[in-house]
Structure 1
């Protein structure tokens, strides 16, 4: 039976690599989307594919005890580079353990679209 101190040492030795994952998201979205233009009919399939690709990519550096939830939002930029025509605000909220669980997000922007990828990493005991 572990005390809370021993459990914290175990968790910290397998900490989720937030900085590395953020860099991976930045590199991935830039390379994957730099030649892609906004097309409303193809957004659904693209978002689904990007979400699966992000999850597979992050899994390569994720400690085994973490479960991943990946979301991707993609939209058209309006006049003067605004997100949508009236603005769009993305927000998320979860109940979790602030000592072990975390999230990483990155937004890619081109002249005509934006794409936000979120990775939620939840420690599984």
Structure 2
């Protein structure tokens, strides 16, 4: 008989806390954009993902790895639908999505917190 010990995080991923961090980072960054420029948005998406990654590290979630997706686009009163699929541990892994837009640009951010065994 095998003894299976389930590893648990002493400080697990907290979706409420992560969403607050995303709001604090994304809103000011998008509101500084006066117009949509695809070249600027390429750099902005890289910058935002790095800033979010650094903020996630400061939260000190025990034994978590992060995948951060940032999508920026121009607003034209159109709809956008994004989906993803993941295979993960429903007890430990989690994610947070946050969408923010102004008159010119939208930003959709997803942070996946994946427990590292």
**CA–CA distance in structure 2, aligned partners of residues 3 and 94 of structure 1:** 24
Query: Stretches of 4+ moved more than 3 A in 1?
Result: 1-4
> Map of 1:1-125 to 2, 5 A cutoff?
4=5, 7=6, 10-11=8-9, 13-36=10-33, 37-78=35-76, 81-82=77-78, 87-125=79-117
Unaligned runs of 5+ in 2: none
> 1:69-102: CA deviations, max 9, x gaps?
1110000010xx33xxxx3211111111111001
> 1:10-64: CA deviations, max 9, x gaps?
43x3211210110110111112221113112222111111111111111111413
Count of aligned pairs between the two proteins:
115
- Give the alignment's Cα RMSD to 1 decimal: 1.8
Unaligned runs of 5+ in 1: none
Structure number having the greater helix percentage: 1
**CA–CA distance in structure 2, aligned partners of residues 67 and 2 of structure 1:** 26
Q: CA 1:112/1:44 → structure 2, altered by over 3 Å: closer, same or farther?
A: same
TM-score normalised by length of structure 2? 0.88
Higher RCO (CA-CA < 8 Å; seq separation 6+): 2
TM-score normalised by length of structure 1? 0.82
